[in-house]
Structures are given as structure tokens and as C-alpha cells.
């Protein structure tokens, strides 16, 4: 099974975004009260309520329509992804949140009945995302690699020549974990890429990313 | 049909909380407690204490750079998600590190809390891996041309924390005084620490 990441969240190296905001050192964690509630509700919705996992949550974010992803900011996309996970797990009926929001705004709306929950048949083998694997790493620091595929492979790195900088603790594989097809942990590597290789750029810098073993081919 | 009511994220959030509360799946008190943790207890003050310790204790700094999580936990730890494996990189006169997550907004929560708005901004996520010097300049940080720049894209579960340069004129500062100077932005690599 190969799941590919849609374009909406894969922003690295893309153009047309304008200036970066000037940081405000005094900025609070939440810009509005609803953001703090949305943050907590999404955190509880993933796992505890919907039966879905962190990788499934990320994939749900990746699959949001553009307006849902961007228009209400970071916690807005958390809110929309949480709702989608809860509908997919049949905790909420489709349209339930919209109907309640309209009632809160004073409209007379018939709300859909709560469905029979249908959570994924899934349990983690341990806490968090780090696991051990029995096989030795296929790549070693200093080795040349090329990332060719993978759910969490940023598009701007695909096909580019990189160098393995470090072998990290093995992780649960998002490609299968996000769709409840097993944890299948793999070795993870920090791989570095030069700006010239990525962009043909005259500005000299290095980019590193963490990439799963199955994403990489020897080069 | 009132389109704006159904698309207002504040109303949708209230609606979602009501629906889940009525079903007994959350309670307002539990939501309050979770929010308070990230408003009050987990934030960049944790990372600032780690940085100040590293500036004043060379053996600690060596442990921090070699295996960050146990070293951070000697000082403080915010717990929770998003920081199972943290790598600390040191900014020097010759090398500058800056951190991003281009695919979402992964960030080392147990040491820095929740990410600031600029870190989550599409412009930062898109551009810092393509033109880091220009982005840093817009954010108020000019790097000399001879400094090597490395951008860390947090694409899996590794999280990055930048150990900023200790500012000049702080030789007499206590660890506590130093911690008060360290900013969130410096620990992500988009600002310097000044005395």
C-alpha cells in the first residue's frame, strides 16, 4: 500500500507566500479563547475519543480542503481535522457540528442523531512513536542516498541526492500507521542536502530532514 | 441559512465541545486543565533554563549535545507529546542552525511549549528551507556571509532545540540571570540572545 501526501500541507520550498511575520516575544500560546478549546478538543479527539492516532491525525490534516487547512489558521485546521476524525469514527454524525453551530447562532435546526460509533480496530504496541527494530540499519553516516517515496517525504527533497548524517531511534512508520495497517517500525536517518542540489541555488546552505529507511535508495 | 454562523471557528469549537460534553466524552474541567498546562506550565522558560545551564556548566553542555532528553530532564521537562527524541545543535560564530517543520508545525513541546504563530505561518514553512538568510533578515536577524547555515526540517519524530550563543558581557551573570535573557525565538534559531 502506498499513500501519498496531498499538496495542501507540503509547503517546503513553495513560492508565493509573502513575508514572514516579525516575531512578537510576548505572544501568548493562543490568540483567541476558541483556539485553546480547539487545541484541547483535537488532542483528546485523536486517540482517546476517535480511536485514531497521531499519524492518522496528521494525514487527516493533509487531506483537508485548502480553505479548511488555511483559512482559520493552525488551530482552525486542528478543529477541522478533529471533526473529520470524529465523523470518520462515527462518534459524530456528518453535519452535527454545523447544525449545533447554527443552533448556537439562534437558528432553528434539526440536529442529526448520534450514530453508532465505529472506531478503527487498532491498538498501539507501546507509548509514543519510537520503537526498536532487530535488523541493522541499511545505511550508515556518510553514505549517499536519494529519497524516492514516502508519506512523510517533503516534496522538495524527492529525488535529491543527500548524505546520511546520523541514524536516529527507529520510529513507527507513518505510511502504514496512519491508515491502521500496522506500526512496521523502521530505522530513521537524518539526511543532509545542499542548497545547490535542491535548488541550483547560489545561496550556500544545508537542509536536513528525518527520513525513513524505505523512503531511501543508495546513490 | 446563516453561512457565517456555521463557518465561524469559534462557534464550531463551542458546538464541538457541547456535543462531546453531552456524550460524556470530555468535560469542561478536563479541557480547562489541559489548556492551563500549555498556557502556564509548559513553555520556553524550560528551554531557557536548559540553555543557561549549558552556558555555565561545560560537563552539562557535553551531556546535552550528546543525548539531549536525559540532560533536559535533569533541569525541567514539560512532558506530553512531541519530544520523544530531541537533538540539540549549537550555534557558534561559524555555524548557525534554524529549525522548521515544512509538512506541519512539529516543535519540541516539552522544552518550548506550543509553537509561536510565525513558526506555523505558511510563509515560514515554505521559505526558510529555500532562502534562509532572507527569511532571517525579515525576522530581524542578519547573518554574516561567512557563517554556515543549516536548516533542520522536522519531518519525523526527531525534534530540534538550538543552543544559542551566549551574549558578550555576561561573564558575571548567574544561571538564573542568564535564563532570563534566553528567548523562545533564539532557541529555534531566528534570533540572537542579547544582554
Annotated catalytic residue, options B4, B105, B117, B154: B105
User: Residue A206 and residue A209: Cα distance in Å, rounded?
Assistant: 10
Chain centroid, CA B178 distance in Å: 18
Put simply, the answer to whether A17 touches B12 (Cβ < 8 Å) is no
User: Residue A129 and residue A53: Cα distance in Å, rounded?
Assistant: 10
User: Residue B174 and residue A99: Cα distance in Å, rounded?
Assistant: 57
The Cα-based distances of A100 to A103, A110, A148, B6 in angstroms read 5, 9, 45, 8
Q: Max CA-CA distance within chain B?
A: 66
Nearest residue on chain B to A82, alpha-carbon basis: B16
Would you call B155 a catalytic residue per the annotation?
Answer: no
B9-22 and A96-104 helices cross at what angle (nearest 10)?
A: 110
pLDDT tens digits along B104-156: 999 999 999 999 999 999 999 999 999 999 999 999 999 999 999 999 999 99
Region of A16 (left: φ > 0; alpha: ψ -120 to 50; beta: rest) is left
b (16+ CB within 10 A) / e for A126-154? eeebbbeeeeebebeeebebbbeebbbbb
Contacts of A31 (CB under 8 A, 6+ apart): A73, B117
ipTM of the complex: 0.96
The two beta strands, B158-163 and B148-153, are unpaired
The Cα-based distances of A122 to A24, A51, A137 in angstroms read 42, 7, 28
Put simply, the answer to whether A102 touches B125 (Cβ < 8 Å) is no
User: Residue B153 and residue B159: Cα distance in Å, rounded?
Assistant: 9
* B99, B102, B149: best to mutate for the A interface, most A CBs within 10 A: B102
Question: Is the pLDDT reported for residue B82 higher than 90?
Answer: no
| Per-residue pLDDT at A1 | 42
Question: Is the pLDDT reported for residue B5 higher than 90?
Answer: no
Residues A34, A39, A41: CA angle, nearest 5 degrees: 90
pLDDT tens digits along B9-19: 999 999 999 99
Cell of B110: 516539552
Would you call B6 a catalytic residue per the annotation?
Answer: no
What are the residues facing B85 on neighbouring strands?
A: B158
Nearest residue on chain B to A50, alpha-carbon basis: B25
- Set of chain A residues whose Cβ sits within 8 Å of the Cβ of B121: 20-21
CB of B194 less than 8 A from some CB of A: no
Q: Are B154 and B106 in contact (CB under 8 A)?
A: yes
Would you call B27 a catalytic residue per the annotation?
Answer: no
Put simply, the answer to whether B140 touches A38 (Cβ < 8 Å) is no
pLDDT tens digits along A36-75: 999 999 999 998 999 999 999 999 999 999 999 999 999 9
Put simply, the answer to whether B120 touches A74 (Cβ < 8 Å) is yes
pLDDT tens digits along A130-158: 999 999 999 999 999 999 999 999 999 99
Q: Are B113 and B141 in contact (CB under 8 A)?
A: no
CB of B117 less than 8 A from some CB of A: yes
User: Residue B105 and residue A205: Cα distance in Å, rounded?
Assistant: 22
pLDDT tens digits along A116-128: 999 999 889 999 9
- Set of chain B residues whose Cβ sits within 8 Å of the Cβ of A54: 81
Would you call B104 a catalytic residue per the annotation?
Answer: yes
Amino acid at each position: 500500500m502506498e499513500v501519498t501526501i496531498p499538496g495542501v500541507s507540503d509547503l517546503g520550498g513553495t513560492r508565493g507566500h509573502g513575508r514572514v511575520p516579525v516575531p512578537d516575544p510576548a505572544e501568548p500560546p493562543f490568540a483567541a479563547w476558541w483556539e485553546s478549546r480547539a487545541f484541547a478538543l483535537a488532542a483528546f479527539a485523536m486517540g482517546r475519543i476517535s480511536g485514531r492516532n497521531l499519524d492518522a491525525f496528521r494525514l487527516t490534516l493533509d487531506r483537508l480542503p485548502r480553505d479548511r487547512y488555511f483559512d482559520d489558521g493552525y488551530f482552525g485546521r486542528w478543529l477541522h481535522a478533529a471533526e473529520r476524525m470524529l465523523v470518520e469514527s462515527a462518534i459524530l454524525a456528518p453535519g452535527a457540528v454545523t447544525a449545533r453551530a447554527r443552533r448556537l447562532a439562534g437558528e432553528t435546526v434539526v440536529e442529526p442523531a448520534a450514530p453508532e460509533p465505529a472506531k478503527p480496530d487498532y491498538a498501539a504496541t507501546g507509548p509514543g512513536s519510537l520503537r526498536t527494530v532487530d535488523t541493522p540499519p541499511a545505511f550508515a553516516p556518510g553514505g549517499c542516498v536519494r529519497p524516492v517515496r514516502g508519506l512523510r517525504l517533503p516534496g522538495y527533497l524527492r529525488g535529491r541526492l543527500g548524505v546520511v548524517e546520523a541514524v536516529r531511534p527507529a520510529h513507527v512508520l507513518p505510511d502504514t500507521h496512519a491508515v491502521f495497517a500496522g506500526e512496521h517500525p523502521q530505522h530513521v536517518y537524518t539526511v543532509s542536502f545542499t542548497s545547490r542540489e535542491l535548488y541550483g541555488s547560489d545561496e550556500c546552505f544545508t537542509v536536513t530532514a528525518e527520513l525513513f529507511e524505505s523512503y531511501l535508495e543508495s546513490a | 441559512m446563516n453561512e457565517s454562523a456555521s463557518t465561524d471557528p469559534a462557534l464550531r469549537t463551542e458546538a464541538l465541545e457541547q456535543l462531546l460534553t453531552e456524550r460524556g466524552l470530555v468535560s469542561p474541567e478536563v479541557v480547562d486543565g489541559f489548556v492551563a498546562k500549555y498556557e502556564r506550565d509548559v513553555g520556553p522558560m524550560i528551554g531557557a533554563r536548559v540553555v543557561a545551564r549549558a552556558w555555565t556548566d561545560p560537563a552539562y553542555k557535553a551531556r546535552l549535545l550528546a543525548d539531549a532528553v536525559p540532560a533536559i530532564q535533569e533541569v525541567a521537562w514539560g512532558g506530553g507529546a512531541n519530544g520523544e527524541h530531541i537533538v540539540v545543535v549549537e550555534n557558534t560564530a561559524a555555524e548557525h542552525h534554524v529549525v522548521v517543520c515544512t509538512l506541519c508545525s512539529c516543535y519540541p513541546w516539552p522544552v518550548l511549549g506550543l509553537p509561536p504563530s510565525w513558526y506555523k505561518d505558511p510563509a515560514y514553512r515554505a521559505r526558510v528551507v529555500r532562502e534562509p538568510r532572507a527569511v532571517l533578515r525579515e525576522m530581524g536577524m542578519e547573518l554574516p556571509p561567512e557563517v554556515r547555515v543549516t536548516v533542520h526540517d522536522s519531518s519525523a519524530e526527531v525534534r530540534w532545540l538550538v543552543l544559542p550563543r551566549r551574549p558578550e558581557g555576561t561573564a558575571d551573570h548567574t544561571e538564573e540571570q542568564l535564563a532570563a535573557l534566553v528567548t523562545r525565538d533564539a532557541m529555534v534559531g531566528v534570533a540572537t540572545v542579547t544582554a
